[in-house]
Amino acid sequence: MAVPLQAKCTPSPITNNIPTNHHPSILRVTCLITTTTTSHPNSVKLVVVNPPLSSDPTLQSTWTHRFWVATGCTTVLVSFAKSIIGGFASHLWLEPALAGFSGYMLADLGSGVYHWAVDNYGDESTPLVGTHVEDSQDHHKSPWTITRRQFANNLHFLARTTTLTVLPLDLAFSDHVVHGFVSAFAFCVLFCPQFHAWAHGTKSKLPPLAVVLQDTGLLVSRTQHMNHHRKPYNNNYCVVSGAWNKVLDGSKVFEALEMVLYFKLGVRPRSWTEPHSE
Ligand SMILES: [Zn+2]
Ligand SMILES: [Zn+2]
């Protein structure tokens, strides 16, 4: 039997967990849906949060963002070219290939360690990484926002870091094995926010290549990363390939580090104070 529904919706601005200056266009629409059958009176409260409008300036790319992404990509390409040219000159391909694989694996491990650190320690006033600490908390509150960020907006911070790190290495070294490692590591670090955004994407809306890379395990899968987004957000921290997640979570490395920091410094990680998902 069809059950008629009555819906009463009240839009109101979100003020409790997302700063309105960051997301001025977000409205929370609370709908109270009530069935009208007398035999099974039932009441369901739905909370629907509208996605931010694409016009939100905090999610859009600026020319400064694009500049850093362009310079970051250029320095990585120069490093990769030095590795390839050195391979042709020396006919040695195994060493730079292994160095590149090491860079790819180390970038995944680094992404997990950094993600664990900013998720659990510090606040917005922490030197150098305060913005990332704040961003990680915002990301847990509204994970879909990363899919609305424009490309350069999402990548510019790590692109700037990549530029300032890889440019001196491009100028100082010509060893093709070194550049095999540097180019792979820097590429994964620079594009890490994009891999993370794809992990939040809807399969049907992702580029086919991204889906293939996720399904083959070369990039972190959507399922694996969704497990991170369950309170208390204390697992699956790696967001490049996710290859290290099983190792790190299985061996409880982060839990051991948290205990050491607590007993040595008296600092509690944020994951200890988060309620668990039901
Ligand atoms: Zn997190
Ligand atoms: Zn995420």
Tell me the ligand closest to 224's alpha carbon. Answer: 2
Residues 114, 115, 119, 123, CA torsion sign: positive
Q: 182 CA to middle of ligand 2, Å?
A: 26
What separation in Å is there between the alpha carbon of 140 and the centre of ligand 1?
6
pLDDT per position as a tens digit, 117-144: 999 999 999 998 999 999 999 999 999 9
Q: What is the mean pLDDT of the chain?
A: 84
- Say which ligand is closest to the CA of 269: 1
Given this model, what pLDDT does residue 278 score?
55
H, E, C per residue of 12-66: EECCCCCCCCCCCCCEEEEEEEEECCCCCCCEEEEEEECCCCCCCHHHCCCHHHH
pLDDT in tens, 66-114: 999 999 999 999 999 999 999 999 999 999 999 999 999 999 999 999 9
pLDDT at 21: 36
The pLDDT value given to residue 273: 86
Please state, for a pLDDT cut of 70, what percent of the chain lies above it. 79
pLDDT band for position 54 (cuts 50, 70, 90): low
Which tokens in the block code for residue 264? 């040595």
Distance 85 CA to ligand 2 centre (A): 37
The answer to whether 215 and 242 are in contact (CB under 8 A) is: no
Residues recorded for the chain = 278
Q: What is the pLDDT of residue 277?
A: 62
Average pLDDT over residues 144-154: 94
Sign of CA dihedral 55, 58, 61, 62: positive
Q: What is the CA(111)–ligand 2 centre distance, in A?
A: 12
Q: Look up residue 31 and give its two tokens.
A: 């709908």
Q: Are 215 and 221 in contact (CB under 8 A)?
A: yes
pLDDT average, residue stretch 176-190 = 97
Angle (CA) 146-220-54 rounded to 5° is 15
Distance 153 CA to ligand 1 centre (A): 19
Give the C-alpha separation, 218 to 114, whole Å. 20
Higher pLDDT, 7 or 191: 191
pLDDT in tens, 214-251: 999 999 999 999 999 998 999 999 999 999 999 999 99
**What residue ranges do the domains of the chain occupy?**
5-49, 59-273
